Structure 1
Amino acid sequence: MVKDGKKVVYWILTGCLLIFIMVLVGGITRLTHSGLSISNYNLVSGTIPPLNHEEWQEAFDLYKQFPEYQKLNSHFTLSDFKSIFFWEWLHRFIGRFIGIVFILPFIYFLVRGKLTKATIKKCLVLLTLGAFQGFLGWYMVKSGLINRPDVSHYRLAAHLITAFLTFAYGFWVTLDLIYPKRKQSIPELRRILWIIMFSLIVQITWGAFVAGLDAGLIHNYWPFMSEGKFIHETVYIEQQPMLKNFVEGKSGVQFVHRYLGYVVVALIVYLWYKSKNINTTKHQTLGIQSLLLLVLLQFTLGVFTLLLRVPLWLGIAHQVTAFLLLGATTFTLHRSSK
């Protein structure tokens, strides 16, 4: 009996694709301020949206009981509410669908004996990450239903980075199945790639902080933070003690995200430069070239997203490119590892 065959590969890749779509819709949900439109969580009954006027009115009346409506959107009509409800409902629906796509085929492959022990363990890790991601989504929304009409940027970052890591791990598992034998491990490149991976995860986390605090709506200059200043004075004084500025202050969070972007670009350019003097494989060369192109694109998108004060399409493009950059890093690291 063939184990870990093509069907298993297609199954996990489908899950990775769905996570990508979910992150895309999640970005739209955040940028359209739709995330608090559904204030309860019903795992089964919540799958079906309101189907008639009475059900819509009931959902709208529930929304009116919470801070976002009371403090920000008291002018909303039912039609306005429907427009934000759609994106949050779609985001949750895709999350439920991903759960079905992962769990049911896993049970099927397990019962039919089509998974090796190693793959079973990896799939259990994936399922755990997926369940944790769902919990973080509920935990994030809960933070915006108490006093302030916005979710905690810490919980938003945890929710986002878990989605990215779940995708990266699922992609790695898929690559293990497609390429069970590693032809050439290059320790020198692998060390740089691990540093890039760590830096990219930190940068994505601070990107979520920027989104959660709406920090992209200030200091809309480049390369300066304000006219003639690389570092705006509010970076240090917005919060006390000073270090708190870099995790909770809008200026400080944007400062970290800005300048860590330069670090990520420099690391990938350095990787590309070092690889020119190393006999890399076709896949390694492809991965490094993809990283270089994607990081330059991502940096450019970041600059214009800031200059134009985060228009929806640019904010989404910036997030999607971060996702692709993480995927390219995962691929290149896998092809350069033992």
Structure 2
Amino acid sequence: MNSAVSISVPQVDREASRRMAPVRAWLWLLAGLVLVMILVGGATRLTDSGLSITEWKPVTGALLPMSEEAWQREFDLYRQIPQYELVNKGMTLAEFKSIYLWEWGHRQLGRFIGLAFFLPLAFFAWRGQVRGRLLLTIAAIGAMGGLQATVGWIMVASGLKPGMTAVAPVKLMLHMLIACGILGALVWVATGLGRFAPEHAPARLRRTASLLIGLTVLQIALGAIVAGLDAGLSYNTWPLMDGRLVPAVGTLFPITPWAENFVESIALVQFNHRLGAYVLLALALWHAVDALRSMPGSATARRATLLAALVVAQALVGITTLLLVVPLWAALLHQGLAVLLLGACVHHRRRMPELAPLAVPARA
């Protein structure tokens, strides 16, 4: 007599999970530090502090100027760049110190994250807790951190060129995307090291969860272009923009050649960011409803609902930021929620196994 039995993916070994708990906690800590780094970077940009340090000194740059003469030297270097001449001419030394400290803090936090990454990694590798494929994966994340620092300086250098008063928006976007890639990779690996009961979601839920990650990254990229152009300081109405739901073609595409409008037209950049928000919101709500219907009461459904709530909150904060003409607190909250949303999307997708339970005949 035959009957059907269900064979599911085996549970994660409890002892292995216990051994990996310190590694998992370390990766989550790094993800938190990257989030803080992104917020400090946002504050640095919003306070126009990013060009205050005109040299890249990875080692000696860790020290603050130790005398008034040293401060004056830094100030003299700053007074040679276009931002000072075109925007901040007449700034006092005390005012310069204020913006200098933002950029110095941003770079110092980057150095701290580097130490917080490599020293524990060496320890865990020595203990044998991180080895093989996991070691290579984490090392690749570290390499992304090195790339991030290099792109960061290339971005700053773009703002030191003649006629420039800020960094190039495309380079700012690339800098932001690499940071988000690092955070997403840390969350993916840390989640994968956890012990949780597998829930076998339908393939369509896995697809929409993956699409949510992609759309969130795209929306962050569009937001970085908006930030780089200070596009949030214009068209500060909602839902209308320039008095219309869809601005006139001449408003959206004033630049020749046509393709440059996507990174240089303030109107088009902001409009694209609005459209991206609508699409992301619609997908998040659809995903939550689908999860609640197909997997009621499951952890997958609860996470999908939380994601939808985060997208709604992010949309409301974005609208508030626009209507208030980008105050510092609202802009940082908007940026922070975007990064939290990305981390939540990655965590959600990682918790959804690819394999469904198998039903096979069992012999009597």
TM-score > 0.5, shorter chain as reference = yes
Q: Secondary structure at the match of 2:295?
A: coil
- Asked if 2 retains the 8 angstrom alpha-carbon contact of 1:203 and 1:257, the reply is yes
Partner of 2:142: 127
Partner of 1:33: 48
Measure how far apart 1:228 and its partner are. Answer: 4.0
- Asked if 2 retains the 8 angstrom alpha-carbon contact of 1:190 and 1:336, the reply is yes
Q: Does 1:171 align with 2:174?
A: no
Consecutive unaligned residues in structure 2, runs of 5 or more: 1-14, 355-364
Partner of 1:73: 88
Partner of 2:57: 42
Q: Does 1:117 align with 2:124?
A: no
Whose RCO is larger (CA < 8 A, sep 6+)? 2
Q: Does 1:94 align with 2:109?
A: yes
Rounded Cα–Cα distance in structure 1 between residues aligned with 2:25 and 2:174: 28
Partner of 2:280: 264
Aligned residues: 338
Opposite residue 84 of structure 1, the aligned amino acid is I
Partner of 2:35: 20
- Asked if 2 retains the 8 angstrom alpha-carbon contact of 1:298 and 1:321, the reply is yes
Measure how far apart 1:95 and its partner are. Answer: 0.5
> Out of 276, 286, 310, which is 2:292 matched to?
276
- Asked if 2 retains the 8 angstrom alpha-carbon contact of 1:184 and 1:281, the reply is no
Q: Does 1:246 align with 2:258?
A: no
Rounded Cα–Cα distance in structure 1 between residues aligned with 2:31 and 2:224: 20
> Out of 338, 353, 358, which is 1:337 matched to?
353
- Alignment deviations for residues 129-148 of structure 1 (CA, whole Å, 9 cap, x no partner): 11111111111001001111
TM-score, normalization by structure 2 = 0.89
Opposite residue 45 of structure 1, the aligned amino acid is T
Partner of 1:155: 171
Instruction: Let me know the Cα RMSD of the aligned residues.
Output: 1.7
Q: 1:164 to 1:280 in 2, by over 3 A?
A: farther
Of the structure 1 ranges 274-283 and 157-166, higher mean CA displacement relative to structure 2 is found in: 274-283
Measure how far apart 1:79 and its partner are. Answer: 0.7
Q: 1:34 to 1:189 in 2, by over 3 A?
A: same
Matches within 5 A, 1:301-320: 301-320=317-336
Rounded Cα–Cα distance in structure 2 between residues aligned with 1:45 and 1:110: 29
> Out of 191, 213, 216, which is 1:197 matched to?
213
Rounded Cα–Cα distance in structure 2 between residues aligned with 1:280 and 1:125: 38
Consecutive unaligned residues in structure 1, runs of 5 or more: none
Partner of 2:306: 290
- Alignment deviations for residues 69-93 of structure 1 (CA, whole Å, 9 cap, x no partner): 1221111000110110111011100
Q: Does 1:85 align with 2:87?
A: no
Partner of 2:230: 214
Measure how far apart 1:316 and its partner are. Answer: 0.4
Opposite residue 295 of structure 1, the aligned amino acid is V
- Asked if 2 retains the 8 angstrom alpha-carbon contact of 1:126 and 1:166, the reply is yes
Q: Does 1:57 align with 2:72?
A: yes
Measure how far apart 1:285 and its partner are. Answer: 2.3
Identity of aligned residues (%): 37
Measure how far apart 1:2 and its partner are. Answer: 6.2
Measure how far apart 1:264 and its partner are. Answer: 0.3
Runs of 4+ in 1 over 6 A off after TM superposition: none
Rounded Cα–Cα distance in structure 2 between residues aligned with 1:100 and 1:307: 40
Q: 1:337 to 1:280 in 2, by over 3 A?
A: farther
- Asked if 2 retains the 8 angstrom alpha-carbon contact of 1:265 and 1:296, the reply is yes
Q: Secondary structure at the match of 2:53?
A: coil
- Alignment deviations for residues 162-212 of structure 1 (CA, whole Å, 9 cap, x no partner): 111110110110011113874424311011111111111111001000000
Q: Secondary structure at the match of 2:66?
A: coil
- Alignment deviations for residues 307-330 of structure 1 (CA, whole Å, 9 cap, x no partner): 111111100010011011111111
- Asked if 1 retains the 8 angstrom alpha-carbon contact of 2:292 and 2:301, the reply is no
- Asked if 2 retains the 8 angstrom alpha-carbon contact of 1:143 and 1:151, the reply is yes
Larger radius of gyration, structure 1 or 2? Answer: 2
Rounded Cα–Cα distance in structure 1 between residues aligned with 2:128 and 2:43: 40
Rounded Cα–Cα distance in structure 1 between residues aligned with 2:172 and 2:291: 36
Q: Secondary structure at the match of 1:276?
A: helix
Opposite residue 202 of structure 2, the aligned amino acid is I
